[in-house]
Amino acid sequence: MTTRPPALLVLEDGRAFRGRSYGAAGETFGEAVFATGMTGYQETLTDPSYHRQVVVQTAPHIGNTGVNDDDPESGRIWVAGYVVRDPARRPSSWRSRRGLDEELTAQGVVGISDIDTRALTRHLRERGAMRVGISTVETDAEALRRKVLDSPEMLGADLAAEVSTPSPYVVPAEGERRFTVVALDLGIKTMTPRRMAERGIEVHVLPATATVDDVLGLRPDGLFLSNGPGDPATADGPVGVVQAALERALPFFGICFGNQVFGRALGFGTYKLGYGHRGINQPVQDRSTGKVEVTAHNHGFAVEAPLDRATDTPYGTAEVSHVCLNDDVVEGLALRDRTGRLSGFSVQYHPEAAAGPHDAAYLFDRFADVMSAAKES
């Protein structure tokens, strides 16, 4: 194996790491975030929520199972850059079609390897997520840092439309069609409509810019909002769509960015976390049952809502349904109508679990139950 050329990583606060080029040569900028999953790097790389983020993998060996054509969560790699400690020298899996290094290069993703990812992660944990640059062409750390400081920040970034589908498409229900759902694609992962389809839900996926009329024109039984990149404070369009749907008592389910938009639609604020939650083993408690789920996360923002009381909204009573046991961050919201019936809910984490444990799959059944109850009434 030939030795790969040198590469330089510089954070906006000036901390620098020198390693080797991994993937494409060139220069890239984004928000440095760390992901703690021991598996699922393909799903991570192709999750549109990572658009404009440079992902640092805390697992030291990455690329061991190569790249297959089954696991991507979208049509391309979305991360702005990739940071690993020790890339696999040779992939090994019966499903592997090519090496990860090769795939990153083919998709033009600039990365760096052979740096102390543990030191970098501890730095981000102490100082918070921040902008970063990786370069295989610039060798002067101060020069690269100046470019990092010129690059856009994640706070205030409006990115959903950049990753959303350009035109609507339909994911048919498996077996008998029980419900029709409109899903706003703010950066949807492939597995999400599939989890609904498995439950007899036909999913009409619409672009992030879809209007209330586009949604209602399809006469859906429910509205779904996906995960997605960027700052939820910028998502005024989707917030308006959700509010209009709630006014008409249309059952609602949201995931991640969808949870943040739901929170805003209910009148709550959102804020940026210090370094976020990204991994597949985060403990979350469902406050209605007391049960703890081990869940998949990828979020840098969160909803600000009171944990100790319900909140009256124009659409009913809202409460925090799920919390993260590591830091008490709001991980889910539930909305009940005047009769006490659940009419909409959302989670900050990823029940589609691609990758991740399947503890939260019940939420897709809950969505079907909410639609079923609404149909009967």
Show Cβ contacts of residue 372 under 8 Å, excluding neighbours closer than 6 positions.
Answer: 178, 179
Taking the least distance from each CB to ligand GLN, the nearer of 27 and 158 is: 158
Among 43, 202, 256, 299, the active-site one is 256
Longest dimension (CA), the chain: 68
Contact region with ligand GLN (CB under 6 A), list: 87-95, 171-179, 191-199, 297-305: 297-305
293 annotated active-site: no
Closest CA to 366 of 279, 251, 284, 268: 251
CA–CA gap between residue 207 and residue 215 (Å, rounded): 10
Q: Please check if 133 is assigned to a binding site.
A: no
CA–CA gap between residue 295 and residue 145 (Å, rounded): 35
Instruction: Write the binding mask 185 to 224 for ligand GLN: x where contact by CB under 6 A, - elsewhere.
Output: ----------------------------------------
Q: Is 65 in the site for ligand GLN (CB under 6 A)?
A: no
Size of the site for ligand GLN (CB under 6 A): 11
256 annotated active-site: yes
Show Cβ contacts of residue 58 under 8 Å, excluding neighbours closer than 6 positions.
Answer: 34, 35, 36, 117, 118, 121
Q: Is 277 in the site for ligand GLN (CB under 6 A)?
A: no
Say how many residues make up the chain.
377
Q: Is 253 in the site for ligand GLN (CB under 6 A)?
A: no
Tokens of 66: 């190569």
Q: Please check if 200 is assigned to a binding site.
A: no
Q: Is 256 in the site for ligand GLN (CB under 6 A)?
A: yes
Q: Residue 167 CB: number of other CB atoms within 10 A?
A: 7
CA geometry: angle at 129 spanning 278 and 132, to 5°? Answer: 110
Tokens of 327: 């830091």
Q: Please check if 300 is assigned to a binding site.
A: yes
Tokens of 80: 């702005």
Contact region with ligand GLN (CB under 6 A), list: 36-44, 215-223, 296-304, 365-373: 296-304
Cα-Cα-Cα-Cα dihedral of 263, 266, 268, 270, to 10°? Answer: 30
Cis amide linkage into residue 59, ω under 30° from 0: no
Which one of residues 282, 295, 298, 343 is an interface residue with ligand GLN (CB under 6 A)? 298
Contact region with ligand GLN (CB under 6 A), list: 36-44, 67-75, 292-300, 359-367: 292-300
Q: Is 227 in the site for ligand GLN (CB under 6 A)?
A: yes
Q: Is 230 in the site for ligand GLN (CB under 6 A)?
A: yes
Q: Is 133 in the site for ligand GLN (CB under 6 A)?
A: no
CA–CA gap between residue 71 and residue 206 (Å, rounded): 23
Q: How far is the first Cα of the chain from the last one, in angstroms, to the nearest whole number?
A: 66
Which one of residues 49, 64, 136, 343 is an interface residue with ligand GLN (CB under 6 A)? 49
CB of 339 to ligand GLN, least distance (A): 31
CA–CA gap between residue 349 and residue 343 (Å, rounded): 19
Contact region with ligand GLN (CB under 6 A), list: 5-13, 145-153, 205-213, 298-306: 298-306
Residues that bind ligand GLN (CB under 6 A): 49, 227-230, 256-257, 298-301
Active site residues: 256, 350, 352
Give binding residues for L-glutamine as ranges: 49, 228, 230, 257, 260, 298, 300-301
